[in-house]
Amino acid sequence: MEIRYASNPRDVKGYDGERLREDFLIESLFVKSELNMVYSHYDRLITGGAIPTDKPLKLEDKETLKTEYFLERREVGIINISESIGKVNVDGETYELNKRDCLYVGKGVKEVTIESADPSAPAHFYIVSALAHKSYPTKKLPIKEAIPTHLGSDAESNKRTIYKYIHKDGIQSCQLMMGMTLLAPNNMWNTMPPHVHDRRMEAYLYFDMDDQSRVFHFMGKPDDTRHIVIKNEQVVLSPPWSIHSGVGTKNYTFIWAMAGENYTFTDMDGVKLEDIK
């Protein structure tokens, strides 16, 4: 799998747009009949995309991880982001995932395979894996059972609902946190005003966008921001020292995932709008 190294914010100051994209944007995780992953040195988080068609796709990359099996020292969260029904096989047991349902699989599970219920209408799965030191039970959480948090307002164009799946009061994990944010119709901003959390890195997958739609994602130190233009089903890596906020040309959905020092969703350092440059 592709490796992405971590960068020093002092160096990132001098990056041009192309270099920012090379380091922080993951452009093509989702390819038909493939399972693709990128290994980031930010908290060794792996992000992946899978679109299984005629045969199941197995979660593995011995060459990169140098372990016997993928989850020997890791845990993983898998979310179906498509309308099509998906299935995940976990050491012989099958879990069905509908759109926006999440499955957590813990350390020690030997075989995870992913398939589409109907190969002619393949499901799209988003995969995020972090290092794990302990085994937590496999658990599915359908979106209808996730607890919604309502944030923002129409006046600020950031009215949105956050669904937390893997976190302290939801599915238990070692360090992986994962959830989904849905914007209300005609609302385009996420995570504005922004925040940083130097204890944890974060990755955003933007989706539910058409071909013509783009998200302008903002990153950088709060007083020195940059942007990356993002298409449907692309991932952006957010270093711990960076803000992570976006505005769409049209409505969109995104999945956030974090790993790092602590396991407290509310541990964020809010940035005041007057301090953003």
Closest CA to 209 of 160, 238, 265, 250: 250
Determine how many CB atoms are found less than 10 A away from the CB of residue 227: 16
Identify any residues that bridge with 216 across adjacent strands, giving them in sequence order: 229, 247
Annotated binding site: 195, 197, 202, 244
Stretch 134-163: interaction string toward ligand D54, x if CB under 6 A: --------------------------x-x-
Asked if residue 40 binds ligand D54 (CB under 6 A), the reply is no
Which is nearer to ligand D54, 23 or 202 (by Cβ)? 202
List of residues contacting Zn ion (CB under 5 A):
202
Stretch 204-243: interaction string toward ligand D54, x if CB under 6 A: ----------------------------------------
What the block records as the tokens of 213 is 């739609």
Minimum distance between the CB of residue 97 and ligand D54, rounded to whole angstroms? 21
Residue of minimal CB distance from Zn ion?
Answer: 202
Asked if residue 107 binds ligand D54 (CB under 6 A), the reply is no
Minimum distance between the CB of residue 28 and ligand D54, rounded to whole angstroms? 24
As to burial, measured by CB atoms within 10 angstroms (0-12 exposed, 13-18 middle, 19+ buried), residue 267 is: middle
The residue whose two tokens read 């990128």 is 38
Stretch 168-207: interaction string toward ligand D54, x if CB under 6 A: -------------x--------xx----------x-----
Closest CA to 1 of 51, 60, 79, 57: 60
What the block records as the tokens of 46 is 């792996």
Minimum distance between the CB of residue 270 and Zn ion, rounded to whole angstroms? 10
Minimum distance between the CB of residue 186 and ligand D54, rounded to whole angstroms? 16
Closest CA to 46 of 257, 230, 219, 253: 257
Which is nearer to ligand D54, 214 or 244 (by Cβ)? 244
Which is nearer to ligand D54, 40 or 181 (by Cβ)? 181
Which is nearer to Zn ion, 100 or 244 (by Cβ)? 244
Closest CA to 99 of 29, 216, 182: 182
Select from ligand D54, Zn ion, none the partner in contact with residue 107, using the beta carbon and a kind-dependent cut-off of 5 to 8 Å.
none
Furthest-apart CA pair in the chain: how many Å?
54
Annotated binding site for Zn(2+): 195, 197, 202, 244
- Report the alpha-carbon distance of residue 107 to residue 167 in Å, rounded: 16
What is 41-79 written as a DSSP string?
SSTT-EEEEEB--SS-EE---HHHH-SSSGGGSEEEEEE
Minimum distance between the CB of residue 222 and ligand D54, rounded to whole angstroms? 14
Which is nearer to ligand D54, 127 or 257 (by Cβ)? 257
Size of residue set near ligand D54 by CB under 6 A? 9
What the block records as the tokens of 58 is 């197995």
Contact between residue 266 and residue 213 where contact means Cβ atoms under 8 Å apart: no
- Report the alpha-carbon distance of residue 161 to residue 183 in Å, rounded: 6
Residues that bind ligand D54 (CB under 6 A): 160, 162, 181, 190-191, 202, 244, 256, 268
